[in-house]
Amino acid sequence: MDFAGKTALVTGAAGAIGKAIAAGFIVGGARVFITDLKQDGVDAAVAEIGGACQGLAADVTKEEQVKAAVGAAAAAFDGRIDILVNVAGIVGQGKVEDLSEAEWDAVYAVNCKGTFFFTKYVVPVMKAKKFGRIINFSSKSGKTGSALLSHYSAAKAAIIGFTQALAYELADFGINVNCLCPGITENTGVWSTVSAGYVKELNLPREEIVKKFTAKVPLKRLAKVEDIVAVTLFLASPGGDYMTGQAINVTGGREMH
């Protein structure tokens, strides 16, 4: 896809999905600014992605750090941020009666507050140019809750509501807002954490856990990082111009609503 002349800000870009999305924009000719929690992770991702990629660490739960990262991105791109992809997120796992307040708050802070903060500071930049594409990350678990993931499911459902509200709020400014609801995605930190938790809670080997999940998927496989990247780039491209307020399933048919 052709993103020549466009600029993109991608959060959580030291992780597998965020890094691959940033790389996809670079291949399409965009200039890209990335963030993640630690500067060494950001520097390593910038080096791996190559091209017109820059980055700065930011804790997405800290408003001043987010403000600084957005300011640095805008300064690097001549005052433009055309595309914001809010990938940054964490997952937690456990029975609801065992979850602590701190665990609940941490999942909400990274997934919801982080998405809010970056959106808050990027929107004025987009409004000034009367153009923007915001792509948030929800989850299959935000559509249909998942056992042992009650706080994560609740946070990801909140992202869908946030996305829909912004689609109405920002439409007159040429800003489209959508979100992705991926299913379980191979070779990601989320799947590593979740699968380890299910191995422990269900007392089954990892291979059996994978079989249990893929058996529920009509296409009979887990998502690949490339599947998620492809839909993200489409939403950011001219092909997504008439789409806003959508929560798009990328689940191999596991979710159909």
- Give catalytic status of residue 152 as yes or no: yes
pLDDT band at 118 (very low <50, low <70, confident <90, very high): very high
Checking if the pLDDT of 39 tops 80, the result is yes
Checking if the pLDDT of 193 tops 90, the result is no
Nearest in space to 225 (alpha carbons), one of 189, 257, 256: 189
For residue 249, give every residue at least 6 positions away whose Cβ sits within 8 Å of its Cβ, in sequence order, or none.
140, 143, 181, 183, 255, 256, 257
Lowest mean pLDDT among 125-134, 166-175, 199-208: 199-208
Lowest mean pLDDT among 73-82, 100-109, 120-129, 180-189: 180-189
Residue range 142-170, pLDDT digits in tens:
999 998 999 999 999 999 999 999 999 99
Distance of CA 26 to the CA centre of its chain: 17
Instruction: Quote the mean pLDDT of the chain.
Output: 95
Helix (H) or strand (E) holding 229: helix 225-236
Checking if the pLDDT of 201 tops 80, the result is no
Q: Which of 108, 152, 198, 242 is catalytic?
A: 152
pLDDT band at 190 (very low <50, low <70, confident <90, very high): confident
DSSP 8-state class, residue 133: E
Please state whether the predicted TM-score (pTM) of the whole model is above 0.85.
yes
53: phi then psi, degrees, rounded to nearest 5:
-120, 135
Residue range 228-242, pLDDT digits in tens:
999 999 999 999 999
